[in-house]
Amino acid sequence: MSLEKKKNFDFIDSVRGISMFGIVIEHSSAFWLLKYDSYGEKLIQSAYMGVFKFATIAFFLISGFLINHKFTEYTPLQYMKNRFKNTIGPWLFWIFIYLVLTAGQQVFMVLKTSVGNRHPVDWYDVTVGMFFRVIFHSNYWFILNFLICIAILLLFKKYIYKWGFGLVLGLFSFFYSVNLYFGWLPVEHTTALFGFVFYLWLGITLNRYYDQVKAALGKISFSSLLAINLVLLVLSTLESVHLMDLNLKDPFNTLRVTNIFYSLGMFALLLKMGDMKGVQKALNPRHTTFGIYLLHPIIIDRLLIEIVRPLNLNLETMSALSVAGYSVLRFAFVYLLTFMLVKLISGTKFKWAIGSR
């Protein structure tokens, strides 16, 4: 059993590192909120935003992969206690830092303004109001969403290995895919409370049938799997463009049906690639991933925005290709700085703040 667990961890670390790489690419993109009239520019925007869009679902899959062992090693109460201890503390700490920096920025902007033109700081908005916006409408929401998803699985633990239970969870996810077009509920993927439980369950199921899944993938050539994913990426990109043409919100939503298939396809490709020692050596994902996730929103929202502000860039007048190039530079800055900060913190007594012991 220990050998199986080691094999799983090697595979998981590779996916973890690549997925976090992709999440930072998406979040640091300059394409957010930009709207284009040209079909070609819409394609560039959608393709850039979609290449690594498999990352979120991949994270839930590998989390489920690990949970399959944890559920057998710990009681539900023990598992949730450990999760809260190692997750909620760092999560709340960096949200607090985010709020402090936000309030400080507001005060600085007020003081910078001439006396006659000053507007009072809305302290409720930059403290309590911002706290709830960060929890429910920012990237930090996924930590809470993840814990809620785990709690749901624990609540229905006796059904975890039932295919019918998986079907019900899959229908919830599919509902959010359809909801993008009809807007019955808020369409932002950060509010899809039950949309990601299915991928935790699927990760658990993949772990249970790991040998069979690997054997099946062994019958598919790498080139065939790569070609399948390229087709799925094209379909996912076209669906984003279609959502733009319909003028619907969140055209890059993770739970688009085409992106779901693309995400599963990319996960299969990464699983076939197996243990990528180069990725693990370069990114050290087991010890840096959670810290990067917690810190990178602060780097983007509180530091990067101040660095580029004096440039007075007008993204709306730039071509989509230029915005893509600019987005790559933004990503490089955010990822490298965040990675270095996490490595630095991991060597101090504050390493608990990035989930390290």
171-228 pLDDT, tens digit per residue, is 999 999 999 999 888 776 566 778 999 999 999 999 999 999 999 999 999 999 999 9
Position 6 scores a pLDDT of 44
Q: Over range 323-335, report the average pLDDT.
A: 98
* Nearest to 89, CA basis, from 353, 357, 356: 353
Residue % of the chain over a pLDDT of 70: 91
Higher pLDDT, 48 or 112: 48
CB 327 within 8 A of CB 30: yes
Residue with tokens 């019900």: 168
> What ranges do the domains of the chain cover?
2-354
Q: Among 100-104, 206-210, 297-301, which is the least confidently predicted range?
A: 100-104
Position 160 scores a pLDDT of 92
Q: With H, G, I as helix, E, B as strand and everything else as coil, classify residue 70.
A: helix
Residue 8 has pLDDT above 70, yes or no: no
Position 348 scores a pLDDT of 92
The overall average pLDDT reported for the chain is: 88
Contacts made by residues 92-98, CB under 8 angstroms, sequence distance 24+: 93/353, 94/140, 94/294, 94/295, 94/298, 94/353, 95/131, 95/134, 95/135, 95/140, 97/298, 98/134, 98/140, 98/297, 98/298, 98/301, 98/302
Q: Over range 35-50, report the average pLDDT.
A: 96
Residue 49 has pLDDT above 80, yes or no: yes
Q: Over range 254-261, report the average pLDDT.
A: 96
CB 290 within 8 A of CB 257: no
